[in-house]
Amino acid sequence: MSTASTGGARSHARAQAHQAELRVPAVPGDVDPSTLFWAETIPADGYATKVLARGSRIRLIDVDGGACAHLLLYRTEAPWERLNIADTMKVPWQAYLGAGHPLLSDQGRVLATVVADSSGHHDMLCGPDDTGRRLLLLGVIKHGMDIRDVAPSVSLFRGVRVDPSSGALEFTGSAAPGAAVDLLIHLPVVLVVANAAHPLDPDPPATALDVLGWKAGEQLSTLSNHDPEYLRALQNTEAVVAAW
């Protein structure tokens, strides 16, 4: 089909659209459908971005066991404040992400908390490969930012551990198909996520990532992490909320 004319280009584009397969994730049984505002499948080497309100709950699902979600967060009304991976490891005294772990900004505030995790295979040490960085850049450009704003990201569903003897990084792969991570959002944020290979993965399987989002503001008052560092970061966060 020729695309040399406007009519030919239109016909070609419409033919491509008819051939595309679009899968919308099903609403899980533990989510009230009336609260759902986001349901999207991100293919391998794809990305998505969304502006999220305080009290949003986001579930990322490694449907077939081959996704790797590289995640960045920016405070919506002040995007110079964003996810800081160094503080996210340093402040909770834990380099390995899991349930209860805060995702901290460079101002000592909680942007999100990991409230559920059935994977346990994550990484905050390596960041994405070149494809992942390019996809994250495409996401931040949509919000008026540029390559300078593509900071180190957290990588979900692909694990890395540090050998205690040698200090070498050991790639531990994925947990299993269907593993999921839930994030509870504490401040309005721009979320950018790229589904791209992990740089240490010797044979990236490249499968889709499902993302669901729903309103769960009532859960902000029922968090179970009582570590003093976490509570101090929460106080910093709530001080911003109180000033709105």
Are the C-beta atoms of 194 and 70 separated by less than 8 Å?
yes
- What is the model's pTM? 0.91
Residue 195, both tokens = 């589904």
Are the C-beta atoms of 56 and 187 separated by less than 8 Å?
no
User: Torsions phi, psi of 29, nearest 5?
Assistant: -65, -20
Residue 99, both tokens = 């349930």
The arrangement of strands across the sheet holding 189-195 comes to: 46-52, 189-195, 69-75, 154-156, 122-123
Residue 16 in 3-state DSSP?
helix
Q: How many CB atoms lie within 10 A of CB 177?
A: 13
pLDDT in tens, the chain (244 residues): 677 889 888 888 887 766 656 688 989 999 999 999 999 999 999 999 999 999 999 999 999 999 999 999 999 999 999 999 999 999 999 999 999 999 999 999 999 999 999 999 999 999 999 999 999 999 999 999 999 999 999 999 999 999 999 999 999 999 999 999 999 999 999 999 999 999 999 989 889 999 999 999 999 999 989 999 999 999 999 999 999 8
Are the C-beta atoms of 122 and 158 separated by less than 8 Å?
yes
Residue 191 in 3-state DSSP?
strand
Q: Taking CA 69 as the corner, what is the angle to CA 66 and CA 74, rounded to the nearest 5 degrees? A: 175
Token pair 């280009």 is at which residue?
9
Q: Report how far apart, in Å, the C-alpha atoms of 109 and of each of 12, 104, 105 are.
A: 49, 6, 5
